[in-house]
Amino acid sequence: MLAKVSQTSMSKALIVGMTLMAALLTAANSAASDTVLAMVKPSLRQDSACKNLPSLPRRVATISKYDQSFRSKSVLNEAQRQERALQLAPIQAAIRQVLALARTDDGNAAMCALQGLRSWAIGKALTDMATSDANLSRDSFTGEITAIVLTLQARGISLNGEDEIRSWLHTLASQTMVYYDVKAGPISRRNNHRYWAATAVADLGAILSDENMRAWARASFSLGACQIDDEGFLPLELARADRAYEYHLHAYSALNRLARQLAGHAHHDLECSDRLGLLYALVADGAASRAAFEKRTGLAQRHPSRRQLAAAFMPPPTRGDLGTTSALDPI
């Protein structure tokens, strides 16, 4: 009788024990699942924020917006302007979308911007420029892409270990330098196109710690600054007829930005940097400046836009500005 009671008690205890163990295992598995979900959730949130990252084309084949039958290249061909604008708009929108992510006060958004750069690098975006205009257009895009990188760096996100991005940026800079040294026409390789290209290359030289890029940017600055005559005029920009004042402002904006970028690496003096002040004095005097261009060209000058005139608000750097870096926004 006692043996039967004992066996019954043991059976009950065994059942209770097994039930308790099953409950504990269930609780443990549930806790483990919660831990896994907690680890996955940030990644899921990041993937969600990165869902609609825009792509960039590898090949661009735009044509100039100016009527090529006019030597001054100052008369717009409206049909060509519209066609070109349609081709470039998606590229501009894509770059600015990723720049907005880089600037957003959210770590996930910044990492999405980095992921966007990775995808462009893998796709070798903007590395097949099929026309001269495409090469000229790429300069501004490269400058905007460097703005993304500089913004991420300012937020503590470096390109260390991002070999694909670094290689792609190096390709963009190398192709730009080769284009202006070898392929560009005799005017483009010496006028405002070259100076704006150099602002992008200067930033890439800083990002990639590449002295060859910095040297090319310095040479480009001097190429432009040394052309400034004693009255402040640039002969190649004077050739733009009734847009001469506009293009002097455009050239000054590039040369001034370039001088400030290169001033951060003051182990080299900039040849002809003293002449930049002559150009500034010429373009920064409002109505008097416009009158000076009309007198020199013999043509009524177009009224520059507010954005173009903004270039004249910033004087050239002085020796006291040697600590200045390339923090200006190229957009």
Output the pTM of the full model: 0.81
Residue 222's H or E segment, with its range, is helix 211-225
Q: What pLDDT sits at residue 68?
A: 84
SS3 85: helix
Whole-number percent of the chain with pLDDT over 70:
80
Section 294-302 average pLDDT: 97
For residue 86, which of 59, 116, 63 has the smallest C-alpha distance?
63
Tell me how far apart the alpha carbons of residues 193 and 103 are, in angstroms, rounded to a whole number.
28
DSSP state of 319: G
Q: State which amino acid sits at residue 162.
A: E
Tell me how far apart the alpha carbons of residues 85 and 282 are, in angstroms, rounded to a whole number.
32
SS3 77: coil
Q: Which CATH architecture has domain 57-321?
A: Alpha/alpha barrel (1.50)
Q: What pLDDT sits at residue 269?
A: 78
More confident residue, 73 or 222: 222
Pair of tokens at residue 137:
């257009």
Tell me the pLDDT tens digit for each residue of 247-280.
Answer: 999 999 999 999 999 986 554 578 999 999 999 9
Instruction: Please name the residue that has the structure tokens 């001469």.
Output: 244
Mean pLDDT score across all residues of the chain? 84
Write down the domain spans for the chain.
57-321
